[in-house]
Amino acid sequence: MHLKQRTISSSVKVSGIGLHTGHKVNVVFTPAKANDGIVFTRIDMPGQPMVRLGDFASISGGEAGRYSSLKIGDGQIYTIEHMMGALAGLGIDNIAIAMDGDEAPGLDGSAIEFVKALKLAGIVDLDADKKFIEIKEAICVTKNGASVMIVPADDFKISYALEYPHPLLRSTVTYAITQDVFERDIAPCRTFCLKEEADALLTKGLGQGANHENTLVFGPNGIVGNTARFADEPARHKLMDCIGDLYLLGAPVKGHVFAFKSGHNLNRELLKKIVEQRDRFASKREPLKLELKEGGGMDVRGIMNIIPHRYPFLLVDRIVEMEPGKRAVAIKNVTMNEAFFQGHFPSRPVMPGVLMVEAMAQVVGVTMLSNPALLGKLAFFMSVDGVKFRRVIEPGDQVVMEVEIIRARSRTAQAKGVCKVDGQIVCEAEMGFAFGE
């Protein structure tokens, strides 16, 4: 299993029409830095809303479980499972995806064209370890005679049993997922449906971009107007859908999936339970090892190892210098892509004042929790006093936060902090904290 994070080396564009909407769409994949994750942007919508994968709240379902989708601003992105399968199969952890429509292009109905485009852009390793979601205990979801279960494993495997009311749609496949296996045996497998399902989808306004080239349609006498690439292509495609759905969590999974007749809706229920298990085990905080860079600095990975904040609420990019338990200087680079600009004065974007204070509080939390006596605990923001805002912070500003611990006890601390832009103070406050498990 590949152990380094990956991105692409250059931008690449994929265009086509959606399988269900029939809408034309352009997708541009752009390289991203380590730990940036997978970020979608709808560039055709007001404010160009974005969503970063990693939590369950953004994942939504489709009509009768025919596709997977993401909530993004006031809109959606439909039928992204094949695209996500390609990213997962190639081990790409960090990438920016800009779309000018509401549905991913269907292309040939499989993931292979996405794979070819991403490989053409070039896949490169980053200087950061890959992050995995490790399954700790067996999880099982069942509904209406279908089931999907995942159990702990050292790598990623899927076993899928297909059982449709058609003699050609009954088979079982098992694969240990590697890049070679995905490209050769799984990515080329196209979506499929029964002839009566195709007719029903069209009456509902779906399948507008489907045809006999990008969708295997099974009639009473076999496939209509096409031939299979593999004898068990439908089962492999369902397995590929499962790979793409699991990658909606934004990180590869270590576990063995056993699926019986499952589809996108059941896969989504499994994702929900995986997130619940991940959060439950994450709350059992283990003793941490403090790793400071030269000069007492700390990158974003070190910050996230100390405090539990994550995007879009992590407001510290880097600790420049620090004396654990005493003082620190940190940086926040404010960009137009900040989540809060979508709703806070979008026509005149300024950083909310409460988030300036929150950013300083997070720096205080890192400073205090880097004290070996408090390492592994949580810092709870308890009070704020003497807050003053002197000017606004706008996109493009680099905010320098300077904090100092003015009083510390075993369970509480008082600190003062200032935010500066171009050497001028923009905000200052005194803050109180309590420490606990």
Positions annotated as catalytic residues are 264, 344
* Three-class SS state of 283: coil
- In angstroms, the CA 17 to CA 431 distance is 53
**Residue 46, number of CB atoms within 10 A of its CB:** 11
Token code pair at residue 139:
């999880």
- In angstroms, the CA 223 to CA 194 distance is 9
DSSP 66-91: S-EEEEETTEEEE--HHHHHHHHHHT
Q: Which residue has the tokens 């994550």?
A: 310
- In angstroms, the CA 427 to CA 285 distance is 33
Q: Residue 184 gets which letter from DSSP? A: I
**Residue 421, number of CB atoms within 10 A of its CB:** 19
What lies within 8 Å, CB to CB, of 236 at 6+ separation is: 173, 185, 186, 189, 230
- 98: number of CA atoms within 13 Å, CB side? 12
Amino acid identity of residue 82, one-letter, is H
The answer to whether 25 and 98 are in contact (CB under 8 A) is no
The residue length of the chain stands at 437
Token code pair at residue 198:
């195709």
Nearest to 8 by CA among 105, 113, 93: 93
Could you tell me which residues are beta bridge partners of residue 98? 28, 41
342-346 own/partner pairs: CB under 8 Å, 24+ apart: 342/47, 342/49, 342/73, 346/47
Q: Which residue has the tokens 């989808």?
A: 201
Nearest to 105 by CA among 183, 15, 186: 15
Sheet holding 378-389, edge to edge: 318-323, 327-333, 398-408, 412-421, 424-436, 378-389
What lies within 8 Å, CB to CB, of 285 at 6+ separation is: 376, 377, 378, 437
